[in-house]
């Protein structure tokens, strides 16, 4: 599936691709990378950008976008800065583990939007629609490729917020880290409809990182990658390759869900795990495990996605969590009783916090229970201050779990807000996702990136 495409936010966690091979001057112990794979270490930075109105209407996602997509309306996005072409052209791309096709904007309706200029690259080439590449490498895309008027391989991507992009499948040289990788396949998009002009002015496109045949991970032959996003400052790290850090501690692993039969609402190339329950302050929500399992259509899968900010749960699970959290915080938090305010169209549990004393009280811990592992969401991650939203002298804070049903989306999605201060490892070779709690700001410093 993919969850989102790219859109606007308050912060941009920017992956500055000043990638370097991890060298012997570092004091950390690393396991050896596979013979054909370089170990790439990349720093994370943050930058503030303007935020549009945060009071979004209650709207259903377009059915045509597919049941496994979520709207990409949030305040934080992860972006990667790299170069493509000969000579190299800089590109800033949204990093999305929930999407497959990487794409660049090749034309701009406004001169302010960054674009890739294909005619300026000597290594650029288009993919004919009659080629095996067009027929075979696009098989995992939600919409099949077709022929355009010039017999080129035409591709379309669409997202549940009604944004879309379409253009031609092309290849060019990708410069990532210290080496050039010729023949990188991506979409050169010349038309589309965006829900975020603010972000379009800052990004060139999107980088797909799921397990599909066209994703960056697959094309690079990467067997493992990891990232760590700080919840305290602007630091962080992205790592390609298999590296063992003795200071991270043992990771908790949960297997990726695999299915052999195609189902209409199941994304087989997403990072799908099996959620089995939720705890609030140690209390297990009274829900059968069956509510977390995909049904006969594939609806109800659980995806780990860097392209989504918050976490979204199907209606019955969301309601149970909302009621339990509300009960445990009754008398501690003041509820915002405004039925017309729903943050990001799916987050309807919000609170008032005095702006003069904005510190939050101690809140209960939520634990997401997966097959073989549990992920802790501490109280400080459970409420998010809505940028620019006030009621008199009070700030508006909203619960950081949303209701998938309000979006018309049949999926559970674990967003990157709840992945903060976690070492997140995506192990494709062993078909699993691992995570461990760690101070990501200290991790960056320890790796020499602070």
Active-site annotation holds for 305: yes
The closest alpha carbon to 350, from 367, 366, 326, 327, belongs to 326
133 phi and psi, to 5 degrees? -60, -45
CB 243 within 8 A of CB 42: no
The residue count of the chain comes to 450
Q: Which of 305, 348, 405, 427 is catalytic?
A: 305
Helix (H, G, I), strand (E, B) or coil at 136: helix
Pairing of strands 383-391, 236-240: unpaired
Residues taking part in catalysis: 96, 305
């Amino acid at each position: 599936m993919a969850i989102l495409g790219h859109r606007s936010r308050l912060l941009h966690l920017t992956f500055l691709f000043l990638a370097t091979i991890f060298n012997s001057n570092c004091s950390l112990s690393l396991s050896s990378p596979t013979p054909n794979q370089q170990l790439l270490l990349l720093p994370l930075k943050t930058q503030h950008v303007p935020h549009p109105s945060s009071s979004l209407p209650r709207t259903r996602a377009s059915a045509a976008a597919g049941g496994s997509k979520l709207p990409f309306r949030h305040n934080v996005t992860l972006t990667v800065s790299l170069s493509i072409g000969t000579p190299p052209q800089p590109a800033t791309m949204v990093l999305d583990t929930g999407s497959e096709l990487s794409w660049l904007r090749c034309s701009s309706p406004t001169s302010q939007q960054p674009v890739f200029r294909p005619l300026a690259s000597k290594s650029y080439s288009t993919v004919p629609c009659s080629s095996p590449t067009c027929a075979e490498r696009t098989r995992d895309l939600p919409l099949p490729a077709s022929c355009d008027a010039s017999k080129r391989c035409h591709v379309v991507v669409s997202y549940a917020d009604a944004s879309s992009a379409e253009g031609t499948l092309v290849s060019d040289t990708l410069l990532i880290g210290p080496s050039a990788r010729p023949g990188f396949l991506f979409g050169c998009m010349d038309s589309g409809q965006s829900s975020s002009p603010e972000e379009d002015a800052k990004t060139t496109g999107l980088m797909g990182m799921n397990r599909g045949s066209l994703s960056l991970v697959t094309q690079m032959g990467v067997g493992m990658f990891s990232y760590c996003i700080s919840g305290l400052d602007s630091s962080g790290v992205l790592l390609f390759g298999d590296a063992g850090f003795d200071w991270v501690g043992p990771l908790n692993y949960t297997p990726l869900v695999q299915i052999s039969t195609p189902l209409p609402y199941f994304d087989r190339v997403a990072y799908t795990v099996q959620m089995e329950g939720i705890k609030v302050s140690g209390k297990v929500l009274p829900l059968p495990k069956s509510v977390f399992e995909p049904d006969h259509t594939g609806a109800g899968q659980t995806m780990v996605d860097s392209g989504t900010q918050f976490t979204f749960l199907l209606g019955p699970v969301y309601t149970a969590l909302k009621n339990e959290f509300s009960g445990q915080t009754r008398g501690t938090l003041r509820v915002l009783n405004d039925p017309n305010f729903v943050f990001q169209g799916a987050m309807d549990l919000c609170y008032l916090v005095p702006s003069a004393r904005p510190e939050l009280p101690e809140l209960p811990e939520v634990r997401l229970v997966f097959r073989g592992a549990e992920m802790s969401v501490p109280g400080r991650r459970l409420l998010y201050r809505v940028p620019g939203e006030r009621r008199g002298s009070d700030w508006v804070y909203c619960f950081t779990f949303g209701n998938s049903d309000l979006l018309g989306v049949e999926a559970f999605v674990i967003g990157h807000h709840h992945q903060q201060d976690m070492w997140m490892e995506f192990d494709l070779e062993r078909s699993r996702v691992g995570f461990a709690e760690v101070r990501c700001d200290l991790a960056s410093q320890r790796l020499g990136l602070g």
